[in-house]
Amino acid sequence: MNPFSGRKYIIAGLIVLLLATFVVKLFLLQISDVSYKISAENNSRRIVTVYPTRGLVFDRNGVLLIGNQRSFDLMVIPSQVKSLDTTEFCRLFNVDSDFIISFFRKYKGGLRPQVFLSQISKEDYAIIEDQLHKFPDFYIQERSVRKYETSGAAHVLGYVGEVDSAKIRSDNYYSIGDYIGVSGLEKTYEKQLRGEKGKIIYLVDVHVRIKENYAGGEYDEQAVAGKDLISSIDIQLQEYGERLMKNKKGAIVAIEPVTGEILAIISSPTYDPNLLVGRARSRNYLELDRNDSLRPLFNRAIQSSKNPPGSTFKMVMGLTGLQEGVILPHSTFGCSGGYVVGNFKLGCHNHASPLDLTRAVQNSCNAYFCNVFRKVIDNPKYKSVEKGFIAWQNHIKSFGLGVNLEIDLPYSERDKGQIGDTAYYNRKHGKGRWKSLNFISLAIGQGEVGVNTLQLANMTAAIANNGYYYIPHIIREISGDETIDKKYYKKQFTSISKEHFQPIIDGMYLAVNGGAGSTAGLAIIEDIDLCGKTGTAQNPQGENHSVFVAFAPKDNPKIAIAVFIENAGYGGTWAAPMASLIVEKYLKGYIPENRKWLETRVLEADFINKK
C-alpha cells in the first residue's frame, strides 16, 4: 500500500472546498444581489424617447397663435471623436474653441450621445447642412419647438423651457432635457398640450450601436400628440390693445360677461414670445428678467394687485348700501366740496349737490359714498364696527375683489390683493375700538385696498350681468373629448340682488354719456351705449394711476373692460378713451374716422420715456 495514499482525501477535499466557495460566491452574485440585474439593463437597453408634437393653440376666431417648428440638435458621441479641425468647426458652428475643449473634457470618453448644440434654427441648419459631412462624428437630431405666430399675447401664451430638476424629482413623467410649459397657458394647460411621450426600446452593444428592437418592439409605446386648444383670446383685439399700451405701464383686461371668457389680457410693457424660443431663450430670458427695469415678464394684469381701484370702487360701494338697506336709489346726500365730520374732511370736486345714487356715480361724488360706507358699517344691526366691517367686506369680496379668481393662468396667493386690513386696524386702533371714520377712504377705493386689473374687469362683468360672473378664463375649447374645467361654466353670484343694479348702471351710463358733469366724456362711442366709471388711484410714489372700467352695450353687454395705466393721471384722460377704443374695435371692428384723432393721441402717449 502506498504510504501517501491518504493524501488523496486532502487533494480531493481541497478541490471540492475551493470549487464550493465558487458556488457560494455565485449564490451571492446571482441570487442575493439584485444590483447586477439593474446594471445589466442599464448596460444594454437604450430607451429612445419619441416626443409627441405639442398641441396647437388658436384664438377664438381660429387664428393660429402657437404652432411648432422643426429645430435641430447637433449630437455627438464624445468617445467617437478622435480629431477635430477646430478652426473650421468653430467657424461653421459659430462656437469658440474653449467651448469645444470644455465640452470634451466634461464628457471625456462618453459612450452615450450628447447634445453638443441645442436648438439650431432652420436657417442656421440650412447653412450647416451642406458642410456637416466634414465632421462625420456629429449628427443632427430633429426636434419640434414652439413657434409663436403672433408677437403679442406673450403673457397669455407663456413659453416652454427645459424642465428643472425639482420637477423631474416630483413628477416622473419628465426626464432631463424634456420641455415643459413654464408660464402662461403653456403652463396651465401643460398636461393637455404636451401629449404623452412614447418610447422605443433598443438593445445596444458595448459601442452603443443599436442592434435590434428589444423584445421585437413589444414594450414600445406610441407617442400621443398633444391636444389643440382654442383660447378665448381675440388676438386682433389683444394686439390692438398692446399697440395702444405701447410706452405705457399698466394692464387691460376685457371679458365677455355672459361667458367669463377673456377677450384680451394685456400687460405692458410686453415682449415678443418668440424671444423665448430656441437657443437664444436663456440669454433673452436673463435680459428680460434682470436687465429690463420695466420688468416685461411681470404680468401686471394679474400680479400687480397692490394698486387701489380709486373711484371705480364706488359702484360696489353703492350696491352694498342698497343691499344692506341703508340707502334707497333715491336717497340723497349733500356734498359741500367733500365729506366733512367735525374736523375731518375728505375732499371732493365741484358738482351739484345733493345727489341721488345714480348722479353720485355719474359725478363720482366722494361724500355720497363716505356716507353710504359709514351707514353700512355703523349699522346698529351689527353689534360692532368690526362686524359691520366684515359684512361690508363680504359684499365686496363677492365681486371677486380681494380674492383670487381661479383663472387658468399662473397666479399666486400674493396676487389676490386686499379689501381692508383688519390686522393693521387692530394694531393701529386697538381690537374692538375701531371707528368707521378710521378707514373712511375705503369708501372711495383708496387706502388699504388693492386690486388687480383682472379683478376690476371681473367686477365690471358682474355689474354688467346684474349680479353674477363666471370665473374669467382664457380657455374656450380643448380638442378631442376633453372638456374645459366645469368651474368656468358655473355662475358665481354676488351677494347683491339683481334689482339693485339698475341705478348703478344708469350712473355708469351717464358717467360716459351724460354730457356736462360726466367724468368720462372722452369714452363716448357713437351708436354704442357704453357704461363706464373712471378712477384715479392715488399713488404716493408719483403721478396717480389712471383707471377706467366699462361695459357695453348697456343692454346685453358683450364686453366688460378694465384699463389701468400707471402714472397717467386722471382716469377720464387716458384710461377712459383707451377703453372706449378697444370696445369700439371689438364691437364695430374698426375705429371710425372721427375718432382717429383720439386713437392717435392714445398711441402717441408715452408715460415711460417722457412725461
Residues that bind other proteins (CB under 8 A): 3-5, 7-8, 10-12, 14-16, 18-23, 25-27, 29-31, 33, 35-37, 39-41, 43-45, 109, 203-207, 211-212
Closest contact distance (angstroms) between CB of 9 and other proteins is 10
Backbone dihedral angles phi then psi of residue 507, each to the nearest 5 degrees: -60, -40
Closest contact distance (angstroms) between CB of 28 and other proteins is 9
Q: Name which of 46 and 585 has its Cβ closer to other proteins.
A: 46
Closest contact distance (angstroms) between CB of 109 and other proteins is 8
Q: Tell me the sheet residues that pair with 212.
A: 203
In the structure grid, which three cell numbers stand for residue 583, read together?
370696445
Closest contact distance (angstroms) between CB of 35 and other proteins is 7
Q: Name which of 29 and 126 has its Cβ closer to other proteins.
A: 29
Closest contact distance (angstroms) between CB of 204 and other proteins is 7
Q: Name which of 20 and 294 has its Cβ closer to other proteins.
A: 20
Q: Name which of 25 and 428 has its Cβ closer to other proteins.
A: 25
Q: Which DSSP string do the residues of 462-479 spell out, in sequence order?
A: HHHTTSEEEPPBSEEEES
Q: Tell me the sheet residues that pair with 231.
A: 475
Q: How far is CA 414 from CA 190, 212, 251, 373, in A?
A: 23, 54, 18, 27
Backbone dihedral angles phi then psi of residue 230, each to the nearest 5 degrees: -110, 120
Q: Name which of 105 and 610 has its Cβ closer to other proteins.
A: 105
| Distance from C-alpha of 473 to C-alpha of 249, rounded to nearest angstrom | 23
Q: Name which of 44 and 144 has its Cβ closer to other proteins.
A: 44
| Distance from C-alpha of 186 to C-alpha of 479, rounded to nearest angstrom | 15
Q: What is the dihedral of CA 524, 525, 528, 531, to 10 degrees?
A: -30
Q: Name which of 1 and 516 has its Cβ closer to other proteins.
A: 1
Q: Name which of 199 and 351 has its Cβ closer to other proteins.
A: 199
Q: Name which of 95 and 201 has its Cβ closer to other proteins.
A: 201
Q: Name which of 15 and 127 has its Cβ closer to other proteins.
A: 15
Q: Name which of 19 and 176 has its Cβ closer to other proteins.
A: 19
With contact defined as beta carbons under 8 Å apart, do 561 and 254 qualify? Answer: yes
- State how far Cα 425 lies from the chain centre: 33
If phi over 0 gives left and psi between -120 and 50 gives alpha, with beta otherwise, what is residue 447? left
In the structure grid, which three cell numbers stand for residue 63, read together?
387664428
The sign one gets for the Cα dihedral 438, 441, 446, 450 is: positive
With contact defined as beta carbons under 8 Å apart, do 398 and 391 qualify? Answer: no
209 CB-near residues (< 8 Å, 6+ apart): none
Q: How far is CA 90 from CA 75, 115, 128, 166, in A?
A: 15, 16, 12, 34
With contact defined as beta carbons under 8 Å apart, do 213 and 202 qualify? Answer: yes
If phi over 0 gives left and psi between -120 and 50 gives alpha, with beta otherwise, what is residue 432? left
If phi over 0 gives left and psi between -120 and 50 gives alpha, with beta otherwise, what is residue 325? left
Where are the strands (E) in 305-454, listed by range?
A: 338-341, 344-347, 418-419, 449-450
Closest contact distance (angstroms) between CB of 207 and other proteins is 7
Closest contact distance (angstroms) between CB of 45 and other proteins is 8
Closest contact distance (angstroms) between CB of 83 and other proteins is 20
If phi over 0 gives left and psi between -120 and 50 gives alpha, with beta otherwise, what is residue 164? beta
Q: How far is CA 164 from CA 170, 182, 270, 463, in A?
A: 10, 10, 25, 43
Q: Name which of 214 and 501 has its Cβ closer to other proteins.
A: 214
Q: Name which of 48 and 341 has its Cβ closer to other proteins.
A: 48
Taking alpha carbons only, the member of 400, 350, 331, 406 closest to residue 549 is 400
Where are the strands (E) in 97-196, listed by range?
A: 114-120, 138-148, 160-162, 179-181
If phi over 0 gives left and psi between -120 and 50 gives alpha, with beta otherwise, what is residue 538? beta
Q: Name which of 33 and 129 has its Cβ closer to other proteins.
A: 33
Q: Report the chain's terminal Cα–Cα distance, integer Å.
A: 123
Q: Name which of 40 and 294 has its Cβ closer to other proteins.
A: 40
Taking alpha carbons only, the member of 322, 402, 307, 398 closest to residue 358 is 322
